Structures are given as structure tokens and as C-alpha cells.
Structure 1
Amino acid sequence: MNPVSPIRKIFQGVATRQDMFRLFDRHKQRPNRFEGDAAELYAGEWFEIGQAQCDYMLDLLPPLWIRGEMFAMREFLTGSLTSVFFTLNIDGRIRHFHGYCDLSDRSSPERMRSSIIKRESRPMKAMSREERLEHIWSSTHDNYRGYAGERWPERDRGKRMVLLYGGKVGTFLKLLDDLSDAEIAAKLPVQLRSLPDAIAA
């Protein structure tokens, strides 16, 4: 049985067309990119897009299927993992989303849909620590992020890292998961820094 990847929001706000294409393959720098199956990296990731982006993707190729307010792309990213696009009415507003669903599990798109609605129906905007870290990874340029290599302790190799500015110390690399609250705040856009913490995404 395949492990279930957690459903998670990876970008705060509405992704532009340029953002969308970057987010489609935000793990492209991973070590050994062309070896093994990357499904676990991508499965469960989702983010919001605009109507124009959703319409563009619908017109790009005939969809694999359309089910009410969602459609699946015919081209698979890897194995049974593909893009599913959602048009959802949340609190009286029509919004559009992209998510990676593993279609070997027929309930995957519906679970994704339910998770998006639950997450986006919160009465107050909030971000969990995990969402903050995912947004930092998603919005950091490829030149300023990467994966720990041979210079790092063996236990850390392959983990995600980002470039930080340390004042007099200059720039340095740090594991994404080890960022302090102050470092996270410094890496987030100004409008996201003051959002309250969410216990769970």
C-alpha cells in the first residue's frame, strides 16, 4: 500500500502565471532528480491560482476527466500523480486551486477538495509554521535555495536549505526546518509576517 502524503498548502496568496509554473516543479533541484519516483515529494501539495490560469490549463489539453467542480490533467507528473484543478465556492466567493493528486487512490481528489475548503474557510487568516516554511521554499529563487550536500553531516544530506543574510557575518546557508522564528519572519513578505500562528494547516 502506498504511503499517504500529507495534504498541504505550499504558497500563500494567489499564484501568478509565472508563480504557477515555478510551483509545478518546485523540487526540480532535488538530488538524484532522474532516479526513483518523486511522487511522495509532490503528492498533496496545493496552492491557489487565478481564473485565467485555471481556464488556460483546461484549454491546454483535453482533460483526463471532469467531475463537477474539478478536472484532472491528462499528462502525469510521475506514476499515477497528476494535476487536479478545482473551482470552489468558499464563503460566497468563487476561487481556483491546483493540487497534485495520486489517482491510484480514487478518493484523493475529493480529500484534496475537502482539505482546501476546510483550510480556506478559517474565520481568521493564519499560517502554521509548516505553511510559513513551505511558502519560503516556494517563493525563494533557485539561486538562493538548494539541498545539503557532502559538506553537511550525513544526517542532514538531502535536506532543503536556504540562503540567509547574517549582517556582519554575511550570507550563509541554513536548513529550512532549522530556521528560527526571527529568520522565518525575515524571509517572509511583509504582509505575511504579522499573521497569527495556526496550530494545524
Structure 2
Amino acid sequence: MTLSPIRKVFQGTADRRQMFRMFDRHAQRPNRSPDDGALYRGEWFEIGEAEHDTMLDILPPLWMRSDMFAMREFLTGSVTSVFFKLKIDDCVRYFHGYCDLSDRASPGCMRAAIVERESRPVRAMTREERLEHIWSSAHDDYRGYAGERFSKHLWGKRTVLFYDYQRGTVLKLLDQLTDTEILAKLPVHLRYLPDAIAA
């Protein structure tokens, strides 16, 4: 399973509980390895000011700049949490992202991507953002990774449980959900947002 480019993984502002759940969205992945940085690298989501300040107070940061700081503890390899305090459209907002610090430009690229994405005039979501939100908000019991039920070439791909009116509860590959199934899995307030063109 390879992800990597910079991507928004949750719509709205994550509260404390949601933030901690999303710190390791891939905890159930098979064959965990210190080289799993591509799963996390580039993920970002919005948090509140209190959550941002809590994380700043936990440990002294690895480094700190005017609008961001990096956590001292690395998640995997050279990937760690970077927290942002950004002014977007005259409003101060807070974000968490996973940056690969082996690339010195990674935090700056993450900041630029967040500002670009959140500065769009129309609230919209790409198909990928819809799928990431479904994955982020699904309980661990309802999401997982393809195994022996699937063809071997699909092993390790993300799966979610889906209720089908004709077949009952079925396990489906996340990236193979139809548009109708995606709408059914999203919360009501996100279902009818227009499609955004991926940047």
C-alpha cells in the first residue's frame, strides 16, 4: 500500500479524541515496518487551538518556527508530526501534518498545500478526500486491510464494512466504493458538497 502525496484526511476540525485517533490511522496495517513512512507522509487535518497548544506543551519541540513546530518523537523513520498555526482568509486556524524531515522542504511544502487547499472559495471535496474522511472516521472494527478473502494482488489494500440492502454487511475495498456507497458512508453535512478538482 503506497499513498504519499500531500492529502487532507479529515473534513472539519478534529476534536481531541478524533485527533488522537488519527495520529495512527494505519495502526492495523499488516506487516508493520519502520519503513512505513509513505503511509503517513503528507497526511494533514485541521485541529482546534486547544489541541494545538496541548501538543506544544507535551514535550519540548524538535524545532519551532513562527507558524509551526515539529514533535521530537518520530512516528516512523524520519516522519514526525508538524503542527501549524496559519492565517487563512484573515482567520487563524490550526493543523496537524506528517512531514518527512529527511526532506528539509517538507514542512514548507505541507504549509503551502494546506493554505492552497483551505483558501479555495467554494467548499468542496475530491473523491480522494471523501474516501480519506470515510477511512478516518470509521471505527477500527469497521475498517481494515484486505487479506485472504481477496485475491492475493489486493492484499494490504484498505477495506471498510458496508451495508448492502440485498447482501447485508459486506467487506469492500475502500477505493472501489461507488459514488452512491460513498454518499451513504459520509455524514449528512458532507454528502452533497460539490466535487472539487484535485490540485
Category of TM-score, reference length = shorter chain: over 0.9
Q: Where do residues 1-201 of structure 1 align in structure 2 (5 Å cutoff)?
A: 5-33=4-32, 35-201=33-199
Q: Secondary structure at the match of 1:25?
A: coil
- The CA deviation at 1:4 is 9.6
Q: Secondary structure at the match of 2:57?
A: helix
Compared CA separation, residues 191 and 4, structure 1 to 2 (3 A): closer
What letter is aligned with 2:51? Q
Question: Could you give the per-residue CA deviations for residues 29-79 of structure 1, whole angstroms, max 9, x where no partner exists?
Answer: 10112x351100000000000000000000000001111100000111111
Sequence identity percentage: 69
C-alpha separation between the residues in 2 aligned to 1:166 and 1:76?
Answer: 40
* Alpha-carbon contact 2:34-2:76 (below 8 Å) kept: no
**Displaced runs of 4+ in structure 1, greater than 3 A?**
none
Q: Secondary structure at the match of 2:13?
A: strand
Tell me the TM-score normalized by structure 2: 0.97
Tell me the TM-score normalized by structure 1: 0.96
C-alpha separation between the residues in 1 aligned to 2:40 and 2:34?
Answer: 13
C-alpha separation between the residues in 1 aligned to 2:78 and 2:153?
Answer: 30
C-alpha separation between the residues in 2 aligned to 1:114 and 1:8?
Answer: 12
Paired residues, number: 198
C-alpha separation between the residues in 1 aligned to 2:55 and 2:156?
Answer: 32
Q: Secondary structure at the match of 1:119?
A: helix
What letter is aligned with 1:32? N
Higher mean displacement: 127-136 or 150-159: 150-159
Q: Secondary structure at the match of 1:11?
A: strand
C-alpha separation between the residues in 2 aligned to 1:136 and 1:4?
Answer: 16
- The CA deviation at 1:150 is 1.3
- The CA deviation at 1:15 is 0.2
